[in-house]
Structure 1
C-alpha cells in the first residue's frame, strides 16, 4: 500500500500522542508529521504507528 493516500476522515481525527497537535500527512515518506515538535510517525501497510518508540525525530522548522 506504499504511496497510497490516507483517508482524510482518519487524518482529521488523529493527533500527535505526545503533544496532542494535528498531524500533517507526508505521502512520499509515508509518515504523519508534527512539524512543530519535530516528530514523524510511520505509516506501515496503511496503518499509522503512533508510538513514541516508532517515531522519528527531526529538527523542527524555525520561523
Structure 2
C-alpha cells in the first residue's frame, strides 16, 4: 500500500515549491498553507525527491 504524504501547517511557510514541482499532489489550502490533496498523483519517489527533500522547512512528512 502506498504511503500518504501530509504537510504540517504549523511548519509550512507557503513557499509553493511543492505545488510548483507536483501540482497533481499539492495545492494551497484555504489557510494559505500547502496541503497534500492527492498522494496517488505521483510516485513515492517523486514526492520524496520533488517535494519532501527540497522543502526549505522540511514540513512534508509520510503518515505512519
TM-score, normalised relative to structure 2: 0.27
Q: Name the larger-Rg structure.
A: 1
Relative to total residues, which structure has the larger strand share, 1 or 2?
1
Relative to total residues, which structure has the larger helix share, 1 or 2?
2
TM-score, normalised relative to structure 1: 0.27
User: Which of 1 and 2 has higher RCO (CA within 8 Å, sep 6+)?
Assistant: 2
